[in-house]
Amino acid sequence: MTAHVKPKAIDDFKARDFRMLIDGVWTEGAGSALERVAPGHGVVVSRYPAGTRADAERAIAAARKAFDEGPWPRMTGAERSNILLKAADLIAAKADELAFLDCIESGKPISQAKGELSGAADIWRYAAALARDLHGESYNTLGEGTLGVVLREAIGVVSIITPWNFPFLIVSQKLPFALAAGCTTVVKPSELTSGSTLLLGEILIEAGVPAGVVNIVTGTGPEVGSVMTTHPDVDMVSFTGSTGVGRLTMANAAQTLKKVSLELGGKNPQIVFPDADLDAFIDAAVFGAYFNAGECCNAGSRLILHRSIASEVTARVAELARKVKVGDPLDPTTQVGAIITPQHLEKIGSYVDGAAKAGASVALGGTALDLGLGQFMAPTILSGVQPDMAVAREEVFGPVLSVLTFETTDEAIRIANAIDYGLSAGVWSRDFDTCLTIGRKVRAGTVWMNTFMDGASELPFGGYRQSGLGRELGHHAVEDYTETKTLNMHMGARTGWWMPR
């Protein structure tokens, strides 16, 4: 690993001061300021208002009024679609600025951040198309005198809470679909990576979204998020983050029986059979483990290898992983950037130490890296991992790959399913029957076959068990932000009434 010189772009960069968006007005809020230190450079790059309960309540009141009285829910689908398309064009036009903010605030490589912005713009365009396609049902088979119509109506005010690992991409998996349905929203980005979401607020105003439809409140979960998940004027909560906070979100929302959508953690296996295309798999294994420094809910953090190929495959994965470039997030050639906070780096290290003490071997890495910038972790491979070890069952959320082995297909399926998560999985074999067997029996929301971490706006994403509730993306995504209403209509005089005359 070679240290990178601190880039001039950071030396010349002046920390940007942001404000919150409430009812169409940019405001400092009632609290103090939060400073964000770039994890890859160790300098302050952003300052946001530390939102308070009062700020969250004002934002919810604005969203409530905009839904109950404003034009957004009453527009045609085509009108909302046109505004979302304008937003998508502006996102594409401002992609470099948005990617730069995500890069310096999260520590992800700039090339990756730009790729995510391209995907985000596509999601906004897809949601715009769905705004025109949302429809109900009709039933004319209920008898001559009866007609049934099922309407889909916007659910109301939606609280959207997003994490730090994909700041712009994840808000784009939620917000445009809520807007397409006609909902109004309060958005709370992570207090570590709020910059690009606040810039999105500027984009939406420019695109023509009315005041109060999108409100953005920065701050912490206990201060702001707790209000957004418990307030009686909020009709739905859409949350992405850790499973622990997801449980708390669900408990908070239960107080007023809100609808809840949760996209949570994962401990995702890649199951590899001896007949697999190992060249393709090795590349996917390294990508799946170290993309976004492993700070990714669908990272391929568990390799479940057939015992006959385990030694060869582990050695080949380690050989390629040694070539992964770790360093300055603003360097276009960097593949693995910085870890989000010093505390999280320490947590990752504790999992590696714990695995070694439990009997696993460190086949690669295992330590933090001092590159003269922020905080970095070496790509790590742990071999000899047993299914009952913490590193095999719990989400490390870092560049740590655990290698387990199996003898039979049934054993591989048991290992894959023997955890609390079920977000995604991969299977590698030239035998389609083998792939389909794994795909049917592994309990995960997505199963990739001879690929890993592919995706598209058209494909739903979400998990089983403690990986969450509901799905994002796909052609049903807008429906998640609606309620159904039945209109049962009778024509003519009612006959056969059971009361005596």
Active site residues: 263, 297
Q: If we measure between CA atoms, which residue out of 389, 195, 442, 169 comes closest to residue 296?
A: 169
Cα-trace Rg, the chain: 24
The whole-angstrom separation of Cα 353 and Cα 366 is 8
Q: If we measure between CA atoms, which residue out of 474, 305, 491, 275 comes closest to residue 381?
A: 305
Match 């380690």 to its residue by tokens. Answer: 318
Residue 346, both tokens? 């320490």
The whole-angstrom separation of Cα 369 and Cα 168 is 27
Residue 477: CA count within 13 A, CB half-sphere: 29
Q: If we measure between CA atoms, which residue out of 180, 190, 126 comes closest to residue 158?
A: 180
Q: Are 50 and 19 in contact (CB under 8 A)?
A: no
Q: If we measure between CA atoms, which residue out of 472, 477, 456, 471 comes closest to residue 130?
A: 477
Bridge partners, 259 (sequence order): 236
- Tell me the C-alpha to C-alpha distance, in Å, between residue 104 and each of 8, 331, 373: 13, 11, 12
The whole-angstrom separation of Cα 341 and Cα 26 is 28
Q: If we measure between CA atoms, which residue out of 247, 234, 213 comes closest to residue 159?
A: 234
- Tell me the C-alpha to C-alpha distance, in Å, between residue 365 and each of 224, 313, 362: 39, 17, 7
Q: What b-and-e string marks burial along 459-474, b requiring 16 or more CB atoms within 10 Å of the CB?
A: eebbbbbbbbbbbbbb
Q: If we measure between CA atoms, which residue out of 492, 457, 490, 452 comes closest to residue 474?
A: 457
The whole-angstrom separation of Cα 78 and Cα 133 is 9
3-state SS assignment for residue 106: helix
Burial class of residue 50 (count of CB atoms within 10 Å of its CB; 0-12, 13-18, 19+): buried
The whole-angstrom separation of Cα 317 and Cα 314 is 5
Number of neighbouring beta carbons within 10 Å of residue 320: 14
Q: If we measure between CA atoms, which residue out of 222, 167, 172 comes closest to residue 190?
A: 167
Q: Are 229 and 253 in contact (CB under 8 A)?
A: yes
